[in-house]
């Protein structure tokens, strides 16, 4: 078979998979899908995780930055809350990374980074953590805080609003997005998500346009 031209094997397999997904959708089955498959019947998009699997990325900062890059780049044409990124055994990841000295801070950073980008972390593990772990209460508080944040704003700002792409993740500088809505009935018109992936404090200026929040220039309301 030929790998060149519009009739190549990749194109044929992609279309075959899309037709299969459409059939599942017609039968009312819930499914997740990566990349272009999300537009052929999937209910939720998710990262393919191919880079992580192929290159065996174990460094938490590098791995989570890759996830935020995916969320950032994938939401120019998708609603942020329609997606998820697999964090698998997050506590195990943070524990096994020799560069992470503070387990709770590591977990909190990963969860916060994804939820601020409007993307849900997807746990795939036997348990989130050992109930008898010395940091169990702090880990539960972190999960409760970020899932509570997501629930509180998912319906309107994170889901129905518009996400502004301000600073793409690089693992070197401040990352930034903003979730805004022009609905005048909403008391909260914008949420700015800032992620510092470095181990140092960062002082920087971020310009956020309030055009999509329906506020006129100079309006501080």
Question: From CA 139, how far away is CA 90, in angstroms rounded?
Answer: 11
Q: Give the pLDDT confidence score for residue 221 in this predicted structure.
A: 53
pTM of the predicted protein model: 0.83
Residue predicted with more confidence, 71 or 148 = 148
Count CB neighbours of 22 within 10 A.
12
Per-residue pLDDT, 114: 93
Q: For position 3, what pLDDT does the model report?
A: 56
Q: Rounded to an integer, what distance in angstroms lies between the CA atom of residue 215 and that of residue 89?
A: 42
Quote the CA–CA distance of 22 and 44 in Å, as a whole number.
14
Q: For residues 124 and 8, which has the higher predicted lDDT (pLDDT)?
A: 124
Tens digits of per-residue pLDDT, 157-173? Answer: 887 778 999 999 988 89
pLDDT of res. 82? 78
For residue 36, the model assigns a pLDDT of 63
8 A C-beta contact, residue 114 and residue 67 = yes
Cα of first residue to Cα of last residue in the chain, in angstroms, is 62
- % helix, strand, coil for the chain, step of 5: 45, 15, 45
- What is the per-residue pLDDT for 1? 47
pLDDT above 90: residue 94: yes
- Report yes or no: 210 and 164 within 8 Å, Cβ to Cβ: no
């Amino acid at each position: 078979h030929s790998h060149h031209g519009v009739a190549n094997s990749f194109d044929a397999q992609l279309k075959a998979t899309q037709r299969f997904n459409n059939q599942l959708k017609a039968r009312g089955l819930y499914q997740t899908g990566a990349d272009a498959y999300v537009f052929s019947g999937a209910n939720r998009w998710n990262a393919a995780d191919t880079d992580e699997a192929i290159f065996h990325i174990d460094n938490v900062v590098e791995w989570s930055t890759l996830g935020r890059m995916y969320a950032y780049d994938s939401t120019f044409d998708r609603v942020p809350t329609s997606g998820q990124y697999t964090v698998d055994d997050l506590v195990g990841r943070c524990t096994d990374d020799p560069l992470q000295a503070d387990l709770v801070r590591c977990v909190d950073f990963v969860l916060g980074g994804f939820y601020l980008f409007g993307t849900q972390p997807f746990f795939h593990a036997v348990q989130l953590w050992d109930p008898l772990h010395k940091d169990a209460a702090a880990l539960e508080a972190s999960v409760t805080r970020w899932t509570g944040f997501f629930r509180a704003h998912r319906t309107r700002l994170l889901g129905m609003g518009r996400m502004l792409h301000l600073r793409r993740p690089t693992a070197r500088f401040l990352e930034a997005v903003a979730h805004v809505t022009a609905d005048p009935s909403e008391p909260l018109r914008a949420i700015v998500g800032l992620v510092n992936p470095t181990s140092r404090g960062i002082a920087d200026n971020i310009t956020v346009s309030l055009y999509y929040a329906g506020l006129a220039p100079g309006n501080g309301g």
